[in-house]
Amino acid sequence: MTATSDAGFAAIAEKIHDHVGRQGFMALLGAELTELGRGSCTLAVPHRSELLQQHGFFHGGVSAFLVDNATTIAAASSHGQLALTAEFKLNYLAPAQGERLLCRARVIKPGRQIAVVAADVFCLRDGAEIHTATALASIAMLDDAKGAKHSDQKHSDQKHNDAKQKSPA
């Protein structure tokens, strides 16, 4: 994992790594955040049979997941705000068959409420990068108070559900 040397960016990067580390779906797919910079990031997923469709290519949903996550992370890294996908347009360019799938996202236009982020998906095959998809996303930028309230409520709900499951019926 790499990060820029921007002194103000260190706190933002730490916050993003914390949020990404709590994403169960990232762990389920074996995805990792391999590069992070102000307004950019790269995510990667290794080849696994569970992630392939019937013809042996990475399932299109894996590319969509990478675009969804990479674009929100790139937007969040611009100014340290929480971010959620509002929408994205994904164009598949070639079948994704190879050892690893990666997505590079970069902020095109930062905004207080909406950021526009571009992403490209590549499949690593025999040492070469094959461009397999491209996307453009609109990312909703949240203020920290709203995000913290939602996050606190989510953790409270999870604790309640955990306690409920442990109590005898």
Q: Is residue 39 a part of any domain in this protein?
A: yes
- Cβ–Cβ under 8 Å, residues 29 and 62: yes
Residue 1: pLDDT band (50, 70, 90) is very low
- Cβ–Cβ under 8 Å, residues 100 and 47: yes
The CATH number of residue 127's host domain is 3.10.129.10
pLDDT of residue 7: 76
Q: Could you tell me the residue range of the domain that residue 86 belongs to?
A: 9-143
pLDDT at residue 80 above 80? yes
Mean of the pLDDT values across residues 94-118? 97
Residue 12: pLDDT band (50, 70, 90) is very high
- Count up the domains in the chain and report the number: 1
- Cβ–Cβ under 8 Å, residues 115 and 139: yes
Q: Is residue 67 a part of any domain in this protein?
A: yes
Q: Is residue 165 a part of any domain in this protein?
A: no
pLDDT of residue 49: 96
Q: Is residue 110 a part of any domain in this protein?
A: yes
Nearest to 101 by CA among 137, 59, 139: 59
* 108-112, 141-145, 156-160: range with highest mean pLDDT: 108-112
Q: Is residue 71 a part of any domain in this protein?
A: yes
Q: Is residue 167 a part of any domain in this protein?
A: no
Mean of the pLDDT values across residues 89-101? 98
17 CB contacts (<8 Å, ≥6 apart)? 33, 36
Q: Is residue 163 a part of any domain in this protein?
A: no
Q: Is residue 154 a part of any domain in this protein?
A: no
Mean of the pLDDT values across residues 80-98? 96
| Verdict on whether the full-model pTM lies above 0.85 | no
**Whole-number Å distance between alpha carbons of 99 and 118:** 24
Mean of the pLDDT values across residues 58-85? 96
